[in-house]
Amino acid sequence: MKHLESITAQDAFEYFLALGVKNGAFHSRDGVYALYPLDLLTGTLYEQFAEWLAACDLAYDSAPETADWDCEDFAQGYVLFCNIYHRQNQRFLKDHWANSTAVWECWVNELQHALCIVLYRDEEGKLCHAFIETQPKSFRRVRTLTAEQIASISLIR
Ligand SMILES: [Ca+2]
């Protein structure tokens, strides 16, 4: 992989506001975020995350007694998993300047659900977002949210 590209927390904040996320929902952990390709985030990394969860005996389970490991735990886990990958990648590239990936836990109140929101660049270099379903269900990795659902986001961190 070539030199990692980044955005600042301010860039992310402005993107989220323009998307319709209410002011105050975004809590930045770091000042600079590394951008990764969406096909990596929804492909290899997602599959490794699902394998790691399975090795920990943590899979999506609708049974009430196991539902205490639920959506926001999956979302937090995916953020951390991406940041661990990013750290390894930085060491490999000797490219240390962005603390985190542009991947955040995202609470969508209207859905009563937590996902991840990611920022990435498309083939034309335009900054884009995607909502990733982090409870491993291979049929639904990227979700599309309505404007009302986006407006109901209470937390991005
Ligand atoms: Ca939980």
Cα(71) to ligand 1 centroid in Å equals 7
| 64 within domain boundaries | no
Cα(81) to ligand 1 centroid in Å equals 17
pLDDT in tens, 104-128: 999 999 999 999 999 999 999 999 9
Domain region containing 125:
5-59+69-156
**For the chain, what percent of residues have pLDDT higher than 70?**
90
| 95 within domain boundaries | yes
pLDDT band at 94 (very low <50, low <70, confident <90, very high): confident
pLDDT in tens, 136-150: 765 679 999 999 999
Instruction: State the DSSP string of 14-25.
Output: HHHHHHTPPTT-
pLDDT band at 54 (very low <50, low <70, confident <90, very high): confident
Q: What's the Cα-to-Cα distance from 143 to each of 84, 133, 152, rounded to whole Å?
A: 24, 7, 15
| 129 within domain boundaries | yes
User: What pLDDT was estimated at residue 60?
Assistant: 66
User: What pLDDT was estimated at residue 123?
Assistant: 92
Contact by Cβ (8 Å): 122, 128? yes
Q: What is the CATH number of the domain that holds 82?
A: 3.30.460
Cα(89) to ligand 1 centroid in Å equals 29
How many domains does the chain divide into?
Answer: 1
Q: How far apart are the first and last CA of the chain?
A: 26
